[in-house]
Structure 1
Amino acid sequence: MTVDDNGRPRAQYGLLTSIAQEAGVSLSTVSKVVHRRRDVGTATRARVEELLARHGYVRPWERDPGMPRQIIAIFRDLSGPYTLEVARGIVDAAGELGIHVVTGTAGRRSISQWLKEAAALGAVGLIVVISMLAEEDQRLIVEQRVPVVLVDPLSAPTLDIPSIGVTNWSGAKDAVHHLVGLGHTRIAMVAGRAHSLAGAARLHGYRAALEEAGIAYDPAIVRSTDFDYGEALAATSHLLGIERPPTAVFAASDAQALGVLESARQRGLRVPDDLAVMSFDDTVVAAMASPPLSAVRQPIEELGREATRVLLQMADGFPPASPRIELVTELVLRTSTAAPAKNLCGP
């Protein structure tokens, strides 16, 4: 379900704002009383409850005894297999617990606006997937003590806001170790952007594997792009056109790996005979690629499930065990990787 900008929820939010002003407290304090959180003083709670009753405010989940609790899941966009698999994990985990999920994007509505929406809807908290949190957003989350869990944030959040991801560094290192073990020494990388935590960690894992194998890092065969098919296609076309092209390419995502495959096809190169291709993600498209992609598998659906579990735990007043939770990756080998052809091997 998506949220309409009109109608009763917005009116309810306006009422809560008025009650906060009348009680001489912040909107976040009113929200805590509405959600019956325990970190509000007795006298303040009584004053706010009296005003809620006087103005006829009805908690959203009390309008209908059968109405479930709600959480809000915010995505950068709603395209691509990664997003869909995370969303499925959130929805399935919430559904098993009788929790309703409101979905939306950060494209047209800021995180601060979604925080207001959470108050209007009576949602217990937010899950924010692959988004950049501005300092102001983080300040509001911390000050209002709204339960928020981040999945693969683009920038490092404050330790007060828990985040969930995967073992990006070690997963990337395993992928490159596999290519080295096949005999490749000229291994390129189509990496993510430097500002992306996941992208940076995967690049560092790539470099660590090369160092362990005694292979010098060559920035000429590393290109940074968004986790995007078109940009990866262009980047790989450049890599394959240099004087000493790579015999293998490690792509930081499935979307980028598909761009690598298409670039190889356009040049008449066979994968894996002429070019080995390794990916990171292992979404549903990896097994359907031609040839099927060897990949570092993220437990993507489990990311959504874990985020839901942590969020509900926080909503019940229990902080997460750690501000950063990392789920383990695994290597899945298919037919896009093989030993390099002898006439293409670098020194």
Structure 2
Amino acid sequence: MTAQDRAHVDAQYGLLTTIAAEAEVSLSTVSKVVHRRRDVAASTRARVEELLARYGYVRVWEQDASAPRQIVAVFRDLSGPFTLEVVRGIVDAAGALGVDVITGTTSRRSISQWLEECLALRAKGMIIVISMLTEEDQRRIVEQQLPVVLIDPLSSPTLDIPSIGVTNWSGARDAVQHLLGLGHTRIGMVAGRSHSLAGAARLHGYRAALEEAGIAYDPAIVRSTDFDFDEALVASLQVMASTEPPTAFFAASDAQALGVLEAARQYGLSVPRDLAVMSFDDTLVAAMACPPLSAVRQPFEELGHEATRVLLQLAEGRPPASLRVELATELVLRTSTATPRHLARK
């Protein structure tokens, strides 16, 4: 952020602070009026609007119409297949709406710094993908009514910040039920980390499907890793070396499923004859794997469109109908899953 940009941001923030003091209301109330929230008394709204007009405050969406419409999309990294699919979904959706997308990561710049950059760029708002927000970041977003939408946050927002995700629990349950339907009763899992909302929900869906089938959960054939190829490879080899290895694996992401496939290759197992493998995500790499992966498909295009739509709605001062949106997943069956070999012989 340049010195000029910082001065502009400080001036805007200072102006709203001045108006809050003069109107004898909180900064949060002034922000609600600025963004035309309905939960402000009519008399208070009128007093704040009069001060906004007197001081010449211009709302973001009332600024020069010739200025480019842009949003900021921030990711933890841009290395995995999931991230690339989400980027594509956001860029495609924004492009259809005539909006440019500035992308970045939190590897060198914090969420707090990106919030400042978003203000300096006078962007419509920011989409944050798979990141952890500090309490201070959340407080600032809510108090200043910054247009922010989360996709698959690592933890539930403690304040009123909208988030978009998918039906992780039911998608995982469907995947494991498919393996059970093929005749597998010894099903391992490479799960996500417990601090990840999506990872935890997929593990719970896995456990629910087993419980419904009357199969006890066995922690010996479950490993939690990042949504990462290398960690999944190591974890899968450990499980395959157990005294009673599984005949099927459910991986919480495509990257982890690729790790399972490589572990099977190194262990001399044929997929799906010796080991069935089911994934979650269905990014482009799922269909390119050898063999192509059966997977729970996330609607990436719809994720990007919904996040962009909600963000632009917030930027126009219209709160979303719901703070949490979950989009439906679907099962895509390919050749990485089959009946267990001991049953196929019968």
Measured against the shorter chain, the TM-score band is 0.7 to 0.9
Instruction: Find the aligned partners of 1:52 and 1:237 in 2 and give their Cα distance.
Output: 65
Match of 2:201 in 1: 201
Match of 2:241 in 1: 241
Are residues 47 and 329 of structure 1, via their aligned partners in 2, closer, same or farther at CA, if it must alter by over 3 Å? Answer: same
Match of 2:96 in 1: 96
Are 1:258 and 2:258 counterparts?
Answer: yes
Match of 2:274 in 1: 274
* SS class of match (1:71): strand
Where do residues 62-211 of structure 1 align in structure 2 (5 Å cutoff)?
62=63, 65-158=65-158, 160-211=160-211
| 1:73-127: CA deviation from partner (whole Å, max 9, x where unpaired) | 1111122221122122212222222222222222322222222223222222221
Tell me if the contact between 1:172 and 1:203 (Cα under 8 Å) persists in the aligned partners. yes
Match of 2:335 in 1: 335
After superposing the two structures, state which structure 1 stretch, 13-22 or 246-255, moved more.
Answer: 13-22
| 1:228-263: CA deviation from partner (whole Å, max 9, x where unpaired) | 000000000100001111111100000000000001
Instruction: Find the aligned partners of 1:124 and 1:304 in 2 and give their Cα distance.
Output: 16
Instruction: Find the aligned partners of 2:184 and 2:217 in 1 and give their Cα distance.
Output: 13
Tell me if the contact between 1:189 and 1:250 (Cα under 8 Å) persists in the aligned partners. yes
Tell me if the contact between 1:86 and 1:300 (Cα under 8 Å) persists in the aligned partners. yes
Instruction: Find the aligned partners of 1:132 and 1:24 in 2 and give their Cα distance.
Output: 30
Tell me if the contact between 2:75 and 2:130 (Cα under 8 Å) persists in the aligned partners. yes
Residue 37 of structure 1 and its aligned partner are, at CA, apart by 3.2
Are residues 246 and 202 of structure 1, via their aligned partners in 2, closer, same or farther at CA, if it must alter by over 3 Å? Answer: same
Are residues 51 and 120 of structure 1, via their aligned partners in 2, closer, same or farther at CA, if it must alter by over 3 Å? Answer: farther
Instruction: Find the aligned partners of 2:123 and 2:302 in 1 and give their Cα distance.
Output: 22
Q: Aligned letter for 2:5?
A: P
After superposing the two structures, state which structure 1 stretch, 180-189 or 108-117, moved more.
Answer: 108-117
The TM-score normalised by the length of structure 1 is 0.87
Structure 2: gaps (5+ residues): 38-43
Instruction: Find the aligned partners of 2:78 and 2:8 in 1 and give their Cα distance.
Output: 28
Tell me if the contact between 2:61 and 2:316 (Cα under 8 Å) persists in the aligned partners. no
Identity, % of aligned positions: 68
Tell me if the contact between 1:74 and 1:128 (Cα under 8 Å) persists in the aligned partners. yes
The TM-score normalised by the length of structure 2 is 0.87
Structure 1: gaps (5+ residues): none
Instruction: Find the aligned partners of 1:81 and 1:110 in 2 and give their Cα distance.
Output: 23
* SS class of match (2:291): coil
Match of 2:40 in 1: none
Match of 2:322 in 1: 322
Instruction: Point out 4+ residue stretches in structure 1 off by more than 6 angstroms.
Output: 26-33, 57-61
* SS class of match (1:164): strand
After superposing the two structures, state which structure 1 stretch, 158-167 or 23-32, moved more.
Answer: 23-32
* SS class of match (1:172): helix
